[in-house]
Amino acid sequence: MKRLFPLAAVICLFVLWGCPKEQPEEPVLTPIQTSYTIGADGGSFDISFRTNQVCQIKSSAPSWLTVDSPTKAVTTKIFTAKASANSDENPRTANISITAGSLSATITITQEGRPKKPEPPTPEYSDVLENAGTSTGTSTYTVPAAGQDITVRVRSNVEYKVECSVDWITSTKADAPHVDDLKFHVAENTGAARSGAISFTYGGDLTFTVTVNQAEFVPAGDDPFMELSTTVVNPEGNGGLYTIGVDANYPYTVDCDAQWIAVEQTGGDCVLKIDYNPGEDTRTAQLIFSCEGLVEIVTVSQPGSDATADPFDIGSNLSARGYANCYVVTKAGNFSFDAVVMGNGPAGYIWPEDEAIAQNLWPWELASVSFTNYGGEKPSRAEILWDDNSTVSNVTIDNNLKVSFTATGNKGNAVIAVYNKANLLWSWHIWCTDSPKRIRHEALDGTPIVMLDRNLGATSCVPEDGKATYGYWYQFGRKDPLRLYPDVAGDMIPGELSVQHSVEHPTAIYQITGKDTEWFNGSVATITADLWGNPYAMHNGTDHMYQATMDELRKTIYDPCPPGYMVPPEWAWETLSMSDCTVDNYGLTFALENGDMFYPFAGYGDSGDAWGGDSGWYGYPGYAPRKNPSDGKWHHNCRNVVACWSSGSECGYWRSGLDWDRDNYHHANMLHYLQDEEASQNTVQVNESSQAHFYPKYSHIRERCCSVRCMRMK
């Protein structure tokens, strides 16, 4: 037995060393599918893969795609993924990573976007939230260290939120729908200069922010100082924004009387918005900076446009150089203008609100002249109101209130109106003519006067062209041309009216009913003397004799002239003399500084009893004879007449006791020429026996329809 043990040991060793060793299993990780696409509604779905390893599973987007533990299986494992609904229209993707030992795999999940809903009909009025307060387009308020209340003017048709970024600015009202003015209080500053912001938001797209800059606290007794980055500004003729840096330790003020410069203080700087200079001459202005007794003067000198250039060939955007009630088109093509504001918009002139309300004017303030300020009154369509020679076609208006049209190349005039549903909101005169030239002369005080060479609406300034030189006629203070040619006279409307009514009825001719000289039949307080921007036409002091200077004249939102031009003042023609004038059958021709200025016998329109029986509206232009009921013969309506409105009211007041004689409130001054006629059946002869009367400043009743000759603004 003892001899068997070694043999058994040998056999065991042979078995242990000689038998093959078992090999480990090769790791496997194989997804059955490497990508999945699921619907926008989401939900649970199974994902399968093969593996022989312990594994970990993760989602790259657990916020919307989750995974659970895989089921146990020998070769195939299955786990469940769950996706939440996709509320976006765009698809989204996420990855699921599987790690098994040293192996890894990625499965891509793509979820479809929510099906896009059909586009709803374009709403007639889009949501509006905008800052309507500042003149230069910025939104910055500068406040002294002592603090003060500020007002942010907001125009909206939505419920918006208001938030202040700092605790030293507090609002008197928040989350307010449809509020015009929001007041904020800025507390006293006892330290360094500081800034804060006020945000106005509605949804994600409509938002704006205003910045409040408050000056540093300066202890009493510190000497004031003020330094400017420049004292000379030389803007281009096209204008633009120009900044003057101001370093001062006390609040400063800026005074500027030039209408073509808007001034806004933004923190430590002063921003100038300078308008396009439509003239040929360089114009200058001074800005006076004042700070605690310190004074600095900044001179602004802006060159004029090229004298040889066409001032009315400005490209396809007719309002690029300013808004107006009339635009000149000199050739065929596609054109547009911005219909966002009434007349010349915020750059215009309007009266203090209490006076405007008392006179029944409309609108009452410049902040109200933008159609974007009123969701319920935004224009939704544009149409041709009238067109005298097929001058325009294809009139449209887009969501940005840009009116587009095609000019055919025909000379003539048209009026385009914008509407909200059935209501006419505003209208624009499209004047298609050769580019008017600018003719110069001087006033008595040497002030340069530059006027267009033809009446507003005329398509020629050649005397022999007859009625093409007449243009159209205007009742004093109204913005729309009136047609008084035979058979096309506008509607005659009597009664107690408002300025708003005249805007909404641009073809109506208003007849005297309550007054004997005034088209606007309101009370004495509602007269139209200053509708064309002569600030002293009605409110000119005790003696009622003051004449506004060129710097004091204002182009109002009712002015009928193109951008850069306005109705002249009453003193514009005082230097014209018949000694420099030629008279013929067509009108007057004055030899002036840089060319001849022709004034046609365009006459004027009036109402009343013509020749004792032919009542109603009638025009005075010489080409339109009428039949005299008394003798059955055709005669011209009146003498040969030139009648061009000024913006100035009659100043011939006199006083009786304590009350002013208000008769002359209903008169306005004009250039006027009349000549006794010798009439045959269809001809007016001007000869030696005719007596002429020339009045550079003649008193005329404002109800009549007379010509307008536009003057270049300073």
Judgement on whether residues 238 and 93 belong to the same structural domain of the protein = no
Judgement on whether residues 167 and 296 belong to the same structural domain of the protein = no
Judgement on whether residues 520 and 657 belong to the same structural domain of the protein = yes
Establish if 356 belongs to a structural domain.
no
Strand order through the sheet with 103-111: 35-38, 103-111, 92-100, 55-59
CATH (domain of 194):
2.60.40.10
Judgement on whether residues 509 and 642 belong to the same structural domain of the protein = yes
Judgement on whether residues 143 and 94 belong to the same structural domain of the protein = no
Q: Tell the residue number behind the tokens 């989350």, with chain if given.
A: 175
Judgement on whether residues 198 and 148 belong to the same structural domain of the protein = yes
- Report the predicted TM-score, pTM, of the whole model to 2 decimal places: 0.62
The three-class DSSP label of residue 585 is coil
Spell out the residues 6+ positions from residue 188 whose beta carbon is closer than 8 angstroms to its own: 145, 146, 147
Q: Would you state the structure tokens that stand for residue 158, as one six-digit string?
A: 């939505």
Judgement on whether residues 147 and 252 belong to the same structural domain of the protein = no
Which phi and psi (to 5°) does residue 372 adopt? -75, -10
Q: Tell the residue number behind the tokens 């907001």, with chain if given.
A: 154
Select from 302, 322, 355 the last residue of a domain.
302
Q: Would you state the structure tokens that stand for residue 52, as one six-digit string?
A: 């022989």
What's the pLDDT at 623? 35
Judgement on whether residues 174 and 246 belong to the same structural domain of the protein = no
What is the dihedral angle through the alpha carbons of 362, 363, 366, 370, rounded to the nearest 10 degrees?
-140
Based on the number of CB atoms within 10 Å of its own CB, is 643 exposed (0-12), middle (13-18) or buried (19 or more)?
buried
Establish if 24 belongs to a structural domain.
no
Give the chain's domain count: 4
Judgement on whether residues 477 and 583 belong to the same structural domain of the protein = yes
Chain-centre distance of CA 83, in angstroms? 50
Establish if 333 belongs to a structural domain.
no
What's the pLDDT at 102? 78
Q: For residues 384 and 427, give the distance between their C-alpha atoms in angstroms, rounded to a whole number.
A: 9
Residue 275: which domain range? Answer: 226-302
What's the pLDDT at 135? 45
Query: Is residue 622 within 8 Å of residue 599, measured between CB atoms?
Result: no
Judgement on whether residues 589 and 445 belong to the same structural domain of the protein = yes
Mean pLDDT split into 10-residue runs, the chain, 714 residues: 46 46 69 77 79 82 79 63 82 86 84 64 57 59 79 76 87 55 83 87 82 80 85 86 88 85 80 80 90 90 75 87 93 93 78 60 69 65 94 93 95 94 90 92 86 95 91 91 59 65 85 64 59 66 60 87 92 87 87 89 64 37 40 44 83 38 58 60 40 74 86 86
What's the pLDDT at 566? 94
What's the pLDDT at 175? 47
Strand order through the sheet with 43-51: 29-31, 43-51, 76-83, 65-67
Establish if 471 belongs to a structural domain.
yes
